[in-house]
Chain A
Amino acid sequence: MDAQTTGQTYVRISRVGKVYPSPRGDVTALADIDLDVRSGEFLSVVGPSGCGKSTLLKTVAGLEAVSSGQISVRGAPVKGPPDRLGVVFQRDVLLDWRTILDNVLLSAEFQGLKRAHVEGRAKELLKRFGLGGFENRHPWELSGGMRQRASICRALLSDPELLLMDEPFGALDAMTRDDLNVELTRIWQDSAHGQRKTVLFITHSIVEAVYLSDRVVMMSRAPGRIVDVIDIDLPRPRPLSVRETPRFGELTAKIRHHFAELGILKE
């Protein structure tokens, strides 16, 4: 394993269960989840739709309370959204009446930061994500990929330690998705040693999970539980061509076979 990823535990999820009460019987979204996310680690969760991936992310974000067990971030139990947290959803949820720059500045505005202090950083982030000339455009003037880039910039603006991403590229076409995978790893990798962000990345793409991650958590459905955690020992930095290497193929095959054994994927 990459030496840089063996940090201390940043998020500890212990024996977490989540039950949604519903008129047609309770839904057990998560059952007995045990997982430690290490500081500076890029961790992906893959699993079929409905297996509780989003629920897991929301409990870590303090947006949903757990029904049993406990989650702690930096050693403190999660009661509401923890500090120094950035979130990206599948839908970019940019506000149509704000320019791209103003959208990126939204969270900072909520946190009461002076615009003059963060505007420079916002512009720099946009530039790094190839949105240099688009600060004053509105979201509806941009493509889906560009909009999602802007929403990542918004999440990164406050320089969070923990980044939670719920299928952020799930709605994008394959090429844009590849671009964004490369950009995201580059941004994550570029941070100085020890300050690397801890990322919990949710996806239903095995290839994406293997490409991006240090570890891949496999989840299965009804009830949502962890079936395996796979170490991804591919060297970094990873060019896209790493996906054509035998080791990459082995890793994706291993995950795919495991899902197949569970009856989740057909072979």
Chain B
Amino acid sequence: MFKRLLAESRTRDALVIVVASLFIWEACVELFAPSPLILPAPSAIFAEFWSSPWVFIRHSGYTLAVTAAGFAIAVALGVVLAVAIVYSRFLERTIYTLLVALNSIPKVALAPLFVIWLGTGTEPKVSVAVMLAIFPIVIDTVLGLRSVDPDMLSLARVSKASPWQVLFKIRFPCALPSLFAGMKVAISFALVGAIVGEFVAGGTGLGFQILVAQGQFDTPRVFVSLLLLSLMGTVLFYLVDFAERLCLPWHVSQRPHAGGAGG
């Protein structure tokens, strides 16, 4: 799988760009010699990482776990909510309207509330991740569940399909492309949520690392955490992308070539 990923020109191009920018960055720092407090060179950042790799890996692992848990809960809860909203006029008018309204406020500002409610452990961090990630899931899944061709639903009625059959055999597969679109946004939001959670009340995690390093004016340390975060975000995004390809080989966006057979 990794070989195949590398073989893809997209992955190769991305790697080339990353490596090239690191070299330019290094060269610029050599050339203009800014204070390491402002901008450390990539070499200094890597040195910082190598000085205590396991510390960074432990913190990364924590943030990754919070992100994954938040994302998983957001997907499970979001899909159930979306189905409920699509099937109930009442829930649509209440929960959905509320969600859409809530979506427009900066949810990050609610993070301190979770600390008051849930303490300073892992729960508030996962909760913030869920809160951020669930919106795109619900909104996109509702859209997907509603995108079924009305003629298809008529056909199901004529064939006396049960509501469950309509949900699992028609609506849900139909909503999968939208769900994946929502999941691609949600995975990044879950990571943001995890970091915000760690900012607000922490002891572990890359967000907490950044906060501590900033307090000590340890800029290389901040950069190590930032680079690890972007690496994590990218890998997570492509994992969702990969899952999408596995699940939706039939979707327009995944077809190897356009056009059908003649005749």
Contact = CB atoms under 8 A, between A and B. Distances in A.
Nearest to B158: A81
B22 interface: no
B261 A81 contact: no
Interface stretch (B105-113, B118-126, B146-154, B235-243): B146-154
Nearest to A63: B154
B151 A91 contact: yes
Interface stretch (A45-53, A106-114, A203-211, A226-234): A106-114
A63 B169 CA distance: 20
A97 B148 CA distance: 13
Interface string B152-167: 1011111111100100
A104 to B, nearest CB: 12
A87 B251 contact: no
Contacts of A62: 158
A248 interface: no
A132 to B, nearest CB: 12
Count class of interface residues, chain A: 20 to 34
Interface of A is mostly: loop
Contacts of A109: 165, 169
A107 B159 contact: yes
Interface string A109-144: 111000000000000000000000010011011110
A184 interface: no
Of listed A58, A95, A145, residue having the most chain B CB within 10 A: A95
A142 B261 contact: yes
Given A91-B151, A140-B260, A106 B250 contact: no
Nearest to A130: B263
B255 A140 contact: yes
A144 to B, nearest CB: 8
Nearest to B161: A110
A87 B155 contact: yes
A96 interface: yes
B263 A91 contact: no
A61 interface: yes
A7 B244 CA distance: 54
B154 A106 contact: no
Interface string B169-180: 110011000000
B154 A87 contact: yes
A85 interface: yes
B262 interface: yes
Contacts of A158: 159
A146 B263 contact: yes
B250 A110 contact: no
A143 B149 contact: no
Contact of A97 (B151, B160, B165, B250): B250
B137 to A, nearest CB: 21
A110 B151 contact: no
Interface string A49-84: 000000000100111000000000000000011000
Given A93-B152, A93-B155, 14 more contacts: A63-B157, A81-B160, A96-B250, A106-B159, A106-B169, A110-B161, A110-B162, A110-B169, A111-B160, A140-B250, A140-B252, A141-B261, A143-B260, A146-B260
15 contacts: A87-B158, A89-B154, A93-B152, A93-B155, A95-B173, A96-B250, A97-B248, A109-B169, A110-B165, A110-B169, A111-B159, A140-B252, A142-B260, A142-B261, A146-B260
Interface of B: 149, 151-152, 154-162, 165, 169-170, 173-174, 248, 250-252, 255, 260-263
